[in-house]
Structure 1
């Protein structure tokens, strides 16, 4: 019997957990702003540390993706909702040691939080079919995604305000309180089924074989790589906001910097909603156009020196990105084999996180090559243009592996 209380407990716990993830990064990066203002770090160090710390979160998603899938298939997903949050809380405690032992402890702490998030992520979606009837799954997935977006938008601004006004230790105490509440909600969930027959080696093999299946479809593999382009752009923009805001827009507080990401997020939401009105499922004919617009607008940011002009450009970039991503996501899910949809999403998550690490590597190398924040916007635009030039997605032609069965 499916417990009626599991779903609301999941929603509450998921929002708090995702919110805390984003608050934590804002607290860590916010300290860099003050260190730069005190001349404890140089411009190059500010930008390098920003790229490094932001990228650390994604590393476990690359190294541990098959393991996370195995753990959530082998054991009860309620257990790994709890376990993922507990690992995150441990990471916050490790990061808090930086108050006494040095800033570098936050790197280790944030990496541990990334491990917890990697394990938590498959559980929050995979648990839905186990706690809800089929007719509620589409709406439930949308609700989980909406709460995640709200956390992504609210978390950085909240963390920025806190680190501007309160001590670092107070910020970490606040984060521990959030995770404590989220963990408590997990403890009240009724345990879901587990499958002792699942084996780790088989889980790794299935992950690789499914990726190979996707690679054999010229259309699906290009769609998959297209979603990666979106996340490269998002990662580079996010990492570049702090040095751009400080060096070119004249920002002095972390809240001002965080609001740049907020405006970008508003645009993404608007573009995502508009995509649903303009395109049917499977229609990716305008993808390259939206990608080109995103690239041009990103390069245009290099000419902006006043916040007043930055806001509408950021909203337009976000809208272009939403229009670019949503048709790709819809096509990937609709055209994948129904029995392999979960594995397809796992492959997409792997590619997207690899793309974000790639974005971090681009920022880090650009700094070494002497590019400033404006130069990175131009470089990002060039990369996106090159990617979409190669991203000629063929029309959908069902193959025997994906075709609907014929009945007589």
Structure 2
């Protein structure tokens, strides 16, 4: 995990990280201080009830994301990003001066207006916050950078919420909050001055100021790339899920656990730390690439631990008195609830980080900020929907644990729907699961695969999962040429169809299918895709290599592209190989987590390709380890 933390030592990342951390901290510092002030001193400020005021405050902070995100997305594409960030931080300083005036006058309208303006400032910062990352980081750093940003954001939310609540209740609390929020805003501006320049991607764009029209336009930009748009819907669903849980913590602590405000803080801390830990683990589990296979893994955890949280808390019933935290922690049932919250939020980190990285990586650079603005708009809508559903269910007589149950079941339904629309997520999950449970994969030289353009990958053929292992190691999708009988296997068929594998048959068996396969390979290579091939034409029966067939020469003669030789090591004797008889008949004969390797060599130009030369290169890469 050390590599992602090395970003914290570099100017291209650290100042930005500190700026966004301090901004998230200050938002929650001020917001929670205001909420606590409203809750306990509403009678001095207004005739409205505290409950109405608290919900009004939450609505005022989220409303600007709906109104101004579309315009903010245009700003982030039109202007140089580090300068735009500095402008937003100067605005934050002005707003904290306005907040100090509101606290000094104890003017509720001024304090609520400031909260609305802080939401506006955050809405302006939102698109540039995520759009700047692909400009500052390499592709292999994108997951780690997003992990640090997400973990930092949730820790900032936690700390800001705690500090705001504690300081406003202290003697001279209003003065402490005024001074503290202003000091944090100044620190945020100072850190923003060290952010390196990030060029504008569309400086000639004319700003369109119509919020409704531009909101629709932003969503259309996002919808142009189907996988990106569905990933945005997945991100928005996570904020629905998170908002549903976070908003119920006070009621859950009081009515189910029988705790006081310290119990609420504990629940918030456990949830925030779990997401931070899950985010930071993403880089290690994904091998520094955007591994969307973690998304189904995370969504499964969100459902399972959400269900267990309902189960663990359904039998609890709080008494009339609020119990101290130490008394709560003496109960085993409370520890089970805390464990569920940790695991649930940790899975949330697995879920959210790859989705953010995918949206950044696959969005057109010229529209990236506007696509992220569309994401922020949908996030806000989903959070409003969560608040509406939660209020409606509670009004209908549902308990807080029942809300958790409904949310977990809805999560399962949403996940199944998204993975049906984009089976690539589920495909990557199956591949990821294979190389992290059955095997432990070491990869060497995968950077030899061209980042763009058509190319052919060739490798030795040792087992039935060779294609999956190569797919797991390569960042780009690969279309493998696959024996038509294996292509139709019940379990593997889903994987091969989803990855758009190309079925082929020998000429003696079905010449028409063979010719269709060669035609499809040519079309794929001309379209700039990667095609995978096992030139031996069959899975090894003795661990050795058979001569390469002439099909590879025919492919590159028709469509001249580079050929990348690869070798698989350590798969002979595994469950999926034919050692000792038919494959997949002797489970665990090599044990779990067997070590395997994939080694790639420099591409060979089409003019130099021959079956014999490729055989020698792959055999040399494989060495003595079959």
Q: Is the 2:151–2:276 Cα contact (8 Å) retained in structure 1?
A: no
Q: 1:11 aligns with which of 14, 17, 20?
A: 17
Question: Going by fraction, where is helix more abundant, 1 or 2?
Answer: 1
Cα deviation, residue 234, structure 1: 0.8
Moved more, 20-29 or 264-273: 264-273
Question: Which residue is 1:321 aligned to?
Answer: 348
Q: Is the 1:207–1:347 Cα contact (8 Å) retained in structure 2?
A: yes
Question: Which residue is 1:350 aligned to?
Answer: 377
Cα deviation, residue 263, structure 1: 0.2
- The number of aligned residues is 396
Q: Is the 2:73–2:371 Cα contact (8 Å) retained in structure 1?
A: no
Are residues 260 and 345 of structure 1, via their aligned partners in 2, closer, same or farther at CA, if it must alter by over 3 Å? same
Are residues 370 and 24 of structure 1, via their aligned partners in 2, closer, same or farther at CA, if it must alter by over 3 Å? farther
Question: Which residue is 2:207 aligned to?
Answer: 200
Question: Which residue is 2:113 aligned to?
Answer: 108
Question: Which residue is 1:282 aligned to?
Answer: 292
Cα deviation, residue 249, structure 1: 3.5
Question: Which residue is 2:574 aligned to?
Answer: none
Question: Which residue is 2:239 aligned to?
Answer: 231
Q: 1:172 aligns with which of 169, 173, 178?
A: 178
Q: Is the 2:126–2:376 Cα contact (8 Å) retained in structure 1?
A: no
Q: Is the 1:26–1:159 Cα contact (8 Å) retained in structure 2?
A: yes
Q: Is the 2:301–2:344 Cα contact (8 Å) retained in structure 1?
A: no
Question: Which residue is 1:22 aligned to?
Answer: 28
Deviation sequence 1:323-378 (CA, Å, 0-9, x none): 44345445555666677655544433332232122222223434544555455434
Alignment of 1:250-399 (within 5 A): 250-253=258-261, 255-273=262-280, 281-283=291-293, 284-286=295-297, 289-300=300-311, 301=313, 303-304=315-316, 305=318, 307-308=328-329, 309=334, 310-329=337-356, 332=359, 343-369=370-396, 371=398, 373-388=400-415, 390-393=417-420, 394-396=422-424
Counterpart check, 1:78 vs 2:82: yes
Q: Is the 2:275–2:345 Cα contact (8 Å) retained in structure 1?
A: yes
Distance in 2, Cα, partners of 1:178 & 1:263:
25
Q: SS state of the match for residue 205, structure 2?
A: coil
Distance in 2, Cα, partners of 1:26 & 1:274:
29
Question: Which residue is 2:485 aligned to?
Answer: none
Cα deviation, residue 296, structure 1: 1.0
Question: Which residue is 2:453 aligned to?
Answer: none
Question: Which residue is 2:223 aligned to?
Answer: 212
Structure with larger Rg: 2
Question: Which residue is 1:161 aligned to?
Answer: 166
Distance in 2, Cα, partners of 1:85 & 1:287:
34
Query: Could you say which structure has the greater relative contact order, defined with CA pairs below 8 angstroms and 6 or more residues apart?
Result: 1
Q: Is the 1:70–1:200 Cα contact (8 Å) retained in structure 2?
A: yes
Q: SS state of the match for residue 229, structure 1?
A: helix
Q: 1:151 aligns with which of 147, 151, 156?
A: 156
Question: Going by fraction, where is strand more abundant, 1 or 2?
Answer: 2
Cα deviation, residue 391, structure 1: 3.9
Cα deviation, residue 261, structure 1: 1.0
Moved more, 260-269 or 164-173: 164-173
Deviation sequence 1:125-156 (CA, Å, 0-9, x none): 444566x5757863555544443343223222
Deviation sequence 1:170-193 (CA, Å, 0-9, x none): 212211111122224445667665
Measured on the aligned residues, the alpha-carbon RMSD in Å equals: 4.1
Alignment of 1:55-134 (within 5 A): 55-96=59-100, 97-98=102-103, 100-127=105-132, 132=136, 134=138
Q: SS state of the match for residue 64, structure 1?
A: helix
Deviation sequence 1:269-292 (CA, Å, 0-9, x none): 344455556668232554653342
Are residues 303 and 277 of structure 1, via their aligned partners in 2, closer, same or farther at CA, if it must alter by over 3 Å? farther
Distance in 2, Cα, partners of 1:312 & 1:141:
25
Q: SS state of the match for residue 423, structure 2?
A: coil
Unaligned runs of 5+ in 2: 1-9, 319-326, 425-497, 501-522, 530-558, 561-626
Distance in 1, Cα, partners of 2:196 & 2:229:
39
Unaligned runs of 5+ in 1: none
Distance in 2, Cα, partners of 1:233 & 1:324:
12
**TM-score scaled by structure 2?**
0.54
Distance in 1, Cα, partners of 2:158 & 2:527:
40
Q: Is the 1:265–1:318 Cα contact (8 Å) retained in structure 2?
A: yes
**TM-score scaled by structure 1?**
0.78
Distance in 1, Cα, partners of 2:170 & 2:527:
59
Deviation sequence 1:363-401 (CA, Å, 0-9, x none): 34345445554554344345434434544434235899x
Q: SS state of the match for residue 222, structure 2?
A: helix
Q: Is the 1:233–1:380 Cα contact (8 Å) retained in structure 2?
A: yes
Distance in 1, Cα, partners of 2:375 & 2:328:
35
Cα deviation, residue 64, structure 1: 1.3
